[in-house]
Structure 1
Amino acid sequence: MESTRNAVTAGLHPVRVWDWPTRLFHWALVLCVTGAVVSAKIGGNAMAWHFRFGLAVLALLVFRLVWGVIGGHWSRFTSFLYAPTTLLRYARGLADPQERLDVGHSPTGALSVFALLGLLAVQVATGLVADDEIASTGPLIRFVESATSLAATSWHKSWGQWLLLGLVALHLCAIAVYRVVHRHDLVTPMLAGDKHLPPAVAAQVPASADHAGRWVLALAALSLGVAAALWVQAQGG
């Protein structure tokens, strides 16, 4: 395995694309969303964990919103906020190699990221005002009308849930297609942080800052998320 990897990366230069905070966010989000889905399916006493996982997702989303502004170069929203024309050219295979659209999030990958983050935000928001009319209510339910709570609950348990699972499945399929068809490994860089690029490309690509000073900023951003989650939890008494 190691010899194969060395052969693949021979002559390539590593460039730090995904900083530590971004990688930790990604895998923590995977665990929390998985936990939220599984605990919801189990129901009963496991719903307490569903709410905990939901609050953890809220904290992570707040962190990602902040980190999308102050994080490493390739984690900033500005690095993967593409014009529609760029997306169309990329989808049609007409992108200019000089654009380096596959270093960070590609145009189609960016759509997936924004869609997942947006849908997760809606799922969290609707869950916070939901009422299962049995034993569980969201901590912010007292701030909305009954009709709003019922509509939010319906979305959270039906359309929202299935759209989220569909987007996750699409995301996994895209990773597999990139790996098998395009020979482009998207998982390893999200684990190790670096992408191995041809020397000419690596010389022109900015690396994401990833050092102790940046980690302190990330911790501050996460603290904001945790504070928001704790405040929300406190509203439920």
Structure 2
Amino acid sequence: MKIDPVTYEVDMSAGTHPLYVWEAPVRVWHWAMMVCMFVMIATGFLIGAPMVANLGDTWATYDFAYIRFAHFAAGMIYTVLFIYRLYWAAVGNKYSRQIFIPPLWSWKWWKGVFGQVAYYLFMKKTSAEYAGHNPLAQLAMFGFFVLGSIVLIVTGLALYAQAWGWDVYWMSWFGWVFTLFGDAQAVRTVHHAFMYVMIIFTIAHMYMSFREDIMGGCTTLSSMTTGLRMFKHTGGEH
């Protein structure tokens, strides 16, 4: 079985066999990040549009503080997991680096991107199969998830630092973010806007994963559980 070294396209004409693509650290990271994202999105909505406060003593109506705590905790874990993922991209197998280094210089890779767009829009009945991420998924992971996560983490840590004041080490590390964006409200707006970027990415990611698993020529969902990419066809373009 031949695999293109740049696009990771699989030559199906020579037959296929199961490939161990996603290592255990990547699979654990994937599902842990998913949980963090759901918590961050849910609590982020509530922080942006708080619920009506309960009547009573402040010590008995601590709901909003619990929401903020859950958001901050999920955000901190998300940050640690992202840094951990950068580390594993350096020490893991070649597939672990795909989302961080898309081959933007390769015309063949860009042809794969456009081909996958046509395939997902039902303009093509079949598409090529890939050992790791297909080119469109790789581009989306890099543009929306990787770069989007960096923006979310930096702005989120800056907003967290703001609560501690300018005379603490948090602001010495992240005070520059407010200078870059102009003021705290601009940072908050960017942070909130990128929450919607992540929501759009998550919906598209789930759609493409389920669709490929059902209609494509290889497994997708199960591969993020077992690590194995299984191919359903042995010849032709699928």
TM-score by length of structure 1 reads 0.66
Kept after mapping to 1: 8 A contact 2:99/2:139 = no
Higher mean alpha-carbon deviation, 69-78 vs 191-200, is at 191-200
- Distance apart, 1:114 and its partner CA: 0.9
Q: Return the alpha-carbon distance in structure 2 between the equivalents of residues 52 and 114 of structure 1.
A: 25
- Structure 1's unaligned 5+ residue stretches are 1-10, 94-99, 202-237
Higher mean alpha-carbon deviation, 105-114 vs 143-152, is at 143-152
Match of 2:148 among 106, 119, 128: 119
- Distance apart, 1:124 and its partner CA: 1.2
- Structure 2's unaligned 5+ residue stretches are 1-14, 48-63, 117-127
> Which residue is equivalent to 1:105?
133
Kept after mapping to 2: 8 A contact 1:80/1:107 = no
Match of 2:27 among 23, 30, 42: 23
Partner SS, residue 216 of structure 2: coil
TM-score by length of structure 2 reads 0.65
Q: Return the alpha-carbon distance in structure 1 between the equivalents of residues 227 and 85 of structure 2.
A: 17
> Which residue is equivalent to 2:90?
69
Q: Return the alpha-carbon distance in structure 2 between the equivalents of residues 153 and 140 of structure 1.
A: 17
- Distance apart, 1:66 and its partner CA: 1.5
In structure 2, do the counterparts of structure 1 residues 109 and 49 end up closer, same or farther at CA, with 3 Å as the change threshold? same
> Which residue is equivalent to 1:140?
170
> Which residue is equivalent to 1:209?
none
Percent pairwise identity: 20
Kindly report the root-mean-square deviation, in angstroms, between the aligned alpha carbons of the 2 structures: 3.3
Q: Return the alpha-carbon distance in structure 2 between the equivalents of residues 119 and 79 of structure 1.
A: 12
> Which residue is equivalent to 1:168?
202
* Bigger proportion of residues as helix: 1
Partner SS, residue 22 of structure 2: coil
| Number of residue-to-residue matches in the alignment | 184
Matched, 1:56 2:90: no
> Which residue is equivalent to 2:111?
89
Higher RCO structure, 1 or 2 (CA under 8 Å, sep 6+): 1
